[in-house]
Chains A and B, each alone.
Chain A
Amino acid sequence: MLYREAGQFKATYAEDSQIFPIRQDKIGIALILAVAFVGAPLLSVAGMLSDYTFTAILTPFLIFSLAALGLNILTGYAGQLSLGTAAFMAVGAFASYNFMLRIDGMPILMAFILGGLCAAAVGIVFGLPSLRIRGFYLAAATLATQFFIVWCLTKVGWFTNYSSSGVITAQKIEILGYTFDTAFSKYLFVLSVVTVMALLAKNMVRTNIGRSWMAIRDMDMAAEVIGFRPMQTKLMAFAVSSFYCGVAGALFAYAYLGTVEPEGFNLDLSFRILFMIIIGGVGSILGSFLGAAFIVLLPIGLNMFMHFLEGSVGINLPSGISSSFELMVFGALIIFFLIVEPHGLARLWQIGKEKLRLWPFPH
Chain B
Amino acid sequence: MKFVQKAMVAAAFATAALSASAQDQFFPALSYRVGPYAAGGTGFFGGVIDYLSLINAQGGINGVKMVWEECETEYNATRGVECYERLKKVRGGATMVEPLSTGIAYGLLDRVAQDKIPMTTLGYGRSDAADGRVFPFVFPLITSYWNQAAGMMKYLGDKEGGLDKLKGKKIVHLYHDSAYGKEPFAVFEAYAKQYGFELIKLAVPHPGNEQQSQWLQIRQAKPDYVILWGWGVMNAVALKTAQRNGYPSGKILGVWWAGSEEDVIPAGSAANGYTTMTFNTPGNYPLLDEIKKKVYAAGKGNLEDKSRIGSTYHMRGVTAAILWTEAVRKAQEKYGKGKAMTSEQVRWGFENLNVDEARLKALGAFGMMPPVKTTCLDHEGSGAVKVQRWDGKAWKAVTPNWVVGDKAMIRKMQEESAAKYAAEKKITLRDCSKEG
Contacts and interface: CB of A to CB of B under 8 A. Distances in A.
B380 interface: no
Given A259-B109, A260-B106, A301-B4, A319 B33 contact: yes
Contact of B304 (A166, A298, A320): A320
A311 interface: yes
A5 interface: no
B85 A258 contact: no
Nearest to A310: B14
A158 interface: no
B86 A324 contact: no
B421 interface: yes
Given A57-B82, A296-B78, A312-B10, A263 B178 contact: yes
Interface string B75-105: 0111101101110010000000000001100
A293 B4 CA distance: 10
Contacts of A275: none
A311 B17 contact: yes
Contacts of B4: 57, 297-298, 300-301, 304
A301 B2 CA distance: 10
Given A52-B85, A311-B14, A324 B33 contact: yes
A164 B127 contact: yes
Nearest to A328: B34
Contacts of B85: 51-52, 55-56
B111 A258 contact: yes
B363 interface: no
A174 B339 CA distance: 41
Contacts of A264: 77, 103, 106
A163 B45 CA distance: 30
Contacts of A259: 106-107, 109-110
B182 interface: yes
A153 to B, nearest CB: 9
A258 B178 CA distance: 19
Nearest to A153: B179
A327 B82 contact: no
B202 interface: no
A167 B18 CA distance: 39
A307 B91 CA distance: 14
Interface in B38-69: 42, 45-46, 49, 69
Nearest to A164: B417
A96 to B, nearest CB: 14
A263 B77 CA distance: 11
B109 A258 contact: yes
Contacts of B49: 319
Main secondary structure of the interface of A (DSSP, over half): helix
A126 to B, nearest CB: 18
Contacts of A221: none
Contact of B7 (A165, A166, A293, A304): A304
Given A263-B179, A303-B71, A257 B127 contact: no
Contact of B11 (A55, A257, A304, A324): A304
Interface core residue of A260, A261, A305, A320 (most chain B CB under 10 Å): A320
Interface string B104-127: 001101110010000000000111
A337 interface: no
Contacts of B84: 56
For chain A, which range describes its interface: under 10, 10 to 19, 20 to 34, or 35 or more residues? Answer: 35 or more
A318 interface: yes
B398 interface: no
B289 to A, nearest CB: 22
B419 to A, nearest CB: 12
A323 interface: yes
Given A60-B82, A301-B3, A319-B49, A164 B186 contact: yes
Contact of B183 (A50, A165, A181, A311): A165
B7 A320 contact: no
Interface residues of B, number: 64
Contacts of A151: 177, 205
Nearest to B425: A169
A256 interface: yes
B107 A258 contact: yes
Contacts of A167: 106, 126, 179
A101 B128 CA distance: 20
A164 B177 CA distance: 14
Contacts of B406: none
B413 interface: yes
A256 B85 CA distance: 12
B67 to A, nearest CB: 12
A358 to B, nearest CB: 25
Contacts of B179: 154, 160, 165-167, 261-263
Given A161-B424, A262-B178, A299-B79, A166 B72 contact: no
A283 to B, nearest CB: 23
B11 A318 contact: no
Nearest to B186: A164
B21 interface: no
B8 interface: yes
B391 interface: no
Contacts of B7: 301, 304-305, 308
A220 interface: no
Contact of A261 (B3, B15, B102, B206): B102
B11 A307 contact: yes
Interface string A111-122: 000000000000
B34 A60 contact: no
B50 to A, nearest CB: 11
B183 A307 contact: no
B408 interface: no
Given A259-B110, A322-B72, A56 B1 contact: no
A307 B424 contact: no
A56 to B, nearest CB: 4
Interface string B395-436: 000000000000000000100010011001100000000000
Nearest to B103: A264
Given A154-B177, A167-B106, A264-B77, A318 B304 contact: yes
10 contacts: A52-B85, A55-B81, A56-B84, A164-B128, A164-B183, A164-B417, A264-B103, A311-B14, A312-B14, A319-B45
The 6 closest A-B pairs by CB, nearest first: A166-B179, A311-B14, A56-B85, A258-B110, A259-B106, A320-B33
